[in-house]
Each structure stands twice: as structure tokens, then as C-alpha cells.
Structure 1
Amino acid sequence: MVKQAESLRILAIHAHPDDIEIQCAGTLARLKNLGCHITVATMTAGDCGSAEMGPVEIANVRRAEAQKAADLLGADCMCLEFRDLSITIDQDSRQRVTEAVRKARPDIVITAPPVDYMSDHEMTSRLVRDACFGASAPNYTTHQFQPAPPTEKIPHLYYVDPIEGVDYFGNPIKPQFIIDVTETFELKMKMLACHESQRAWLRKQHGLDEYMEGAERWSAARGKEIGVAYGEAYVQHCGHPYPSSNLLRELLEN
């Protein structure tokens, strides 16, 4: 299985800097340990993520924080340069995300859940789903700078947990499976701690380090469901014509 993993490429793409660290960094670290090539991508640079800095200044800070976290993982890092609270489903957006998928050329894609607490997450989920479908279509052009060629196949597609594992109404969303990330949890938290601007913002808002504590609390809750210290939960997109074999689970549960 390790020999197979060494040839695999993983793309984790979520809305904002820090979303990946909160939701799936432990899983990515385990895949990296198997020899997989990892690319992490954010839709936005986090330009609304400050109460003191303007959008250009905080976006520059958050790009650097995302790169620092990716460096800890040994992953490639990209930003698609959407604006916070402005991700929409349209042709330009679909082309931009499809180009990112073509550049990453993934076997496995991990992205935002279809239902979550904010629109940026949900729009990301839909656009990534469409991009995974369209990336292998030779006649679908992205009209992006130096476009990559179409991919050879539709990748395995997975959705992370919604925040705190609930829908709009607070009802639990049951995952299909949970990955044990106990062995990589320390790295996950170091990656999350790289996003210091967000920790500072939330410390100011909440008066405590809920940013880190919340991530640890939810990882522990998911881990408890399968009898381990820490876990990260997933749902696989298995609709036609996406792959239905659970490659992610096979890699990390054997």
C-alpha cells in the first residue's frame, strides 16, 4: 500500500486560510507520511479576517501564515484569490477552480462540505465538485494564464465535517467514516497555530484561545466515536461518475 501511496497526489482545497488545518490537516499529515504528494489550496487569502488591518494588509499576512503551515507539512501551497464573502457559482469561478484541479492533478480531493455555517464554504464545495467533474473534459477550457492540460480522470472526492458537525439548524450530520489522526495531531495543531492573526482576532472576540481549543475539542469528539484520541471525519461523493471505491479509507485504515 505504501508503494501505491508514493505515486498518489492529494489536493485539499477549502475556502479560507486555516480551514484546512482545522478540518483535515491530521489526515494530510498521515498521507504525507505514506509518501503522497500534497497540495493545499485556499479559495481566498482571508481579506476580511481582521478588525484592525485593511483587506490588502491582512490578506498578505494570511497568505504568509498559510505558506508557513504548508511548509510544516511539506506541501505545495496555492491561493485562488477570490475575495472573502464573495465566492459565487458562475463560469469564471468554475474555470478558476477547474484550472487549480488541473494544475494539482490529484487522485484524491478533500474539500468543504455541501452544508456548513457560511456561504463561502458551501460555494467552495459546489465549485470543487464541478471542477473535479470538468477537469478531465478536453473541450472544457478554463481561459486561465498558462492553462494546464485536462486531467486523465475524475478524482476521488471527499467532504470534511461542517463546523462542529452540524447543519444550519444545529442537527448533527453523521459522517461516513472517521480517520484516526492521533499520531499526527501535534503537527495539525502546530499548523493551525501558524495562523496567528486568526488566533489574535478570536482571542479578542472571545477572551480565550477558542481557535485552538475548539479544534482540539472537536477532534477529540470525533476520535471518541471510533475509540481513539483524535479523529477527522469525512463523507465521500459517490454520485455518477465519481469513483466509489474509498481510496482515502483504504490508505489510512490498513
Structure 2
Amino acid sequence: MLAHSSRIAASVGIGLPLLSQVTGGGAPGTSHKIKVVVAGAHPDDPESGCGGTIALYSDLGHEVVVLYLTRGEAGIPNKSAQQAAAIRTSECQKACAILKARPIFAGQIDGNTELSRSRYDDFGKLLQAEHPDIVFTHWPIDTHRDHRAVSLLAYDAWAQSRKSFDLYYFEVDQGSQTQQFYPTNYVDIGQTESRKRAACFAHASQQPETGFYQLHDKMNHFRGMECGCDLAESFVRHCQNLGTSLPQR
């Protein structure tokens, strides 16, 4: 029997289309600019989950939007929700500037996210207004309710749009938050890991030097070993995507 990492490598095949050749549902090998939306629950989730991939897209001239479900209102001890939101919004803007992405906010509250008909409708309208070719979001099996919420909101938007964009899931805090995550695709982030690190460290209120980035750095190395490079981010591709929109190492 193949080892776990070997089975994964075999299942994804060899390589993925170059970012300059992403199809976004078009003909394979077609070179054109696409729109990427990365939907995360809190400030720092998109950056830690796929910041290297965001940087790769933006470096090649593709438009990247980072959609934050909340402003991290509950994320700073001894700060009011309003104070924390102001601090973390500023950190989002700094991180997105590093990654050359545009931040937008869905208006839900950290720790009190909701799933309702109106919330599904509002999120779907916000996402469709961006006309994405590809959307990344949290893997839905996760110990954090807010992570699960944005994943389901993004999935519903994809389904209601008649699968008009490709959908991929990313991981955060593997084991303690994201669980049962078995990648279908990898992206070599060796050339952009320094930008990912800088974007994560822009979230200074979260103490990345002693907190969340240490775990994600280990994840980057582990996923790299799985796919045969130094550093990688991994994703689960929805099997009903129209095309393939990830880079090749």
C-alpha cells in the first residue's frame, strides 16, 4: 500500500496549470486575466491559509479580492469590539497591500456569525458583485463556528450561481481547527512565502511571532514535503469545478 503522502501525490497527478495560463473555466492554456476572491472568517485567515497563492496570482496581474466575513471584533483581549475592529481592519489593509489584493468586508460579527436566509442572500450578492472566476474559502470541517459559517456561505453562493466559478477550500491551524483535510492540489509558494509571512505579520495584534504563524510555517513545510517542494499551500478542489485555476511549480 502507498504511503499517505504518496497516495495524495498520485491522486493529484503531476503539476497544475501555470498561473499565467489559468483557465477560469475557459479553454486550457488560454492566457487571460482572472478574478480571484478569497473568503475568510477573520482578519489573518486568508493570509495564513493561502497568502502565498494570493501573491502568485497578483504578481501575474490577476485581480485578487480578500473577503473578510468579520473584522475580528472579538480578537484582541481587553479591547472593545469597536476598538478591535478598527485595529484589525487597519491590519487587513496593510496585509492586503503587501499581497497586492483588495480587502472587502461582509459585515458579520466575530464570534456571532449567522447562517440565515438573509445572510445567505447578502453574502451571495456581495460575492456575485465581484464576478469571480475562482473562490477560495475555509474547509467546512473545522472547530471554529465562524470558519464553518463562511465556508457554507461561499458554498451556497457557488450553488445558487449555478456553479459559475471554481471553488477551492484551504486549511488553517491544521488539527486544532481544520480537520479531516486531504488535499487534492498543491501550490509551490517558495517564491512568495516571504510575502505571505510579511502579510501575516501585518496582523501584529495576533502576535504572529509566537502564535498562529509558527503553526502555519510548519504546515507550509509539511505540505511541501508531500508534493516534492520546499514550501507549499494545499487545497481541496470541488469536484464539480468547470476548470482548473491553480499554478504549477
Shorter-chain TM band: 0.7 to 0.9
- Counterpart for residue 220 of structure 1: 221
Aligned amino acid, residue 97 of structure 1: F
**In the alignment, structure 1 residue 248 sits paired with structure 2 residue 248:** no
2:171 corresponds to? 161
> Given the superposition, is the C-alpha separation of residues 5 and 88 from structure 1 closer, same or farther in structure 2, using an over 3 Å criterion?
farther
**Counterparts of 1:215 and 1:38, CA distance in 2:** 21
State the Cα distance separating 1:160 from its structure 2 match: 0.4
Seen in structure 2, the aligned counterparts of structure 1 residues 253 and 99 have a Cα distance that, compared at 3 Å, is same
Higher helix share: 1
Shift of 1:52: 1.3
**Runs of 5+ unmatched residues, structure 2:** 1-17, 22-29
Going from structure 1 to structure 2, the CA distance change for 1:162 and 1:65 (only over 3 Å counts) comes to closer
Deviation at 1:88?
2.2
Q: Give the C-alpha shift of residue 34 in structure 1.
A: 2.1
CA 64–231 in structure 1, closer or farther in 2 if over 3 Å, else same: same
- Say whether the 8 Å CA contact 1:116–1:167 is kept in structure 2: yes
Cα displacement (A) at 1:166: 6.9
Aligned pairs (5 A) from 1:1-254:
2=20, 4=30, 6-135=32-161, 154-164=164-174, 172-199=180-207, 209-238=210-239, 242-245=240-243, 247-249=244-246, 252-253=247-248
Partner AA of 2:166 in structure 1: H
1:27 deviates by 0.7
Aligned residues: 223
Kindly state the Cα deviation for residue 162 of structure 1 after the two structures are TM-superposed.
4.6
CA distances 1:5-42 after superposition (whole Å, capped 9, x unpaired):
54210000110000011100101111112221100010
RMSD of equivalent CA atoms:
2.0
**TM-score for both structures, normalised by structure 1:** 0.81
Amino acid at match of 1:62: R
Distance 1:22 1:167 in 2: 13
2:245 maps to amino acid:
L
Structure 2 distance, partners of 1:32, 1:5, is 15
Q: Is the 8 A contact 2:66 2:102 kept in 1?
A: yes
Q: In 2, Cα distance between the equivalents of 1:135 and 1:45?
A: 26
2:241 & 2:218 partners in 1: Cα distance? Answer: 32
Aligned 8 A contact 2:40 2:147 in 1: yes
Displacement of 1:128 after TM fit?
Answer: 0.5
Give the number of the structure with larger relative contact order, counting CA–CA contacts within 8 Å between residues 6 or more apart: 2
Contact 1:115 1:162 in 2 (8 A): no
For 1:5 and 1:166, the matched residues in 2 are separated by: 39
Conservation of the 8 A alpha-carbon contact between 1:117 and 1:162: no
Structure 1 window deviating more from structure 2 (4-13 vs 114-123): it is 4-13
- Separation in structure 1 between the aligned mates of residue 146 and residue 185 of structure 2, nearest angstrom: 24
Distance 1:117 1:93 in 2: 21
Identity across the alignment (%)? 26
Secondary structure of the corresponding residue to residue 107 of structure 2: strand
Which residue does the alignment assign to 2:27? none
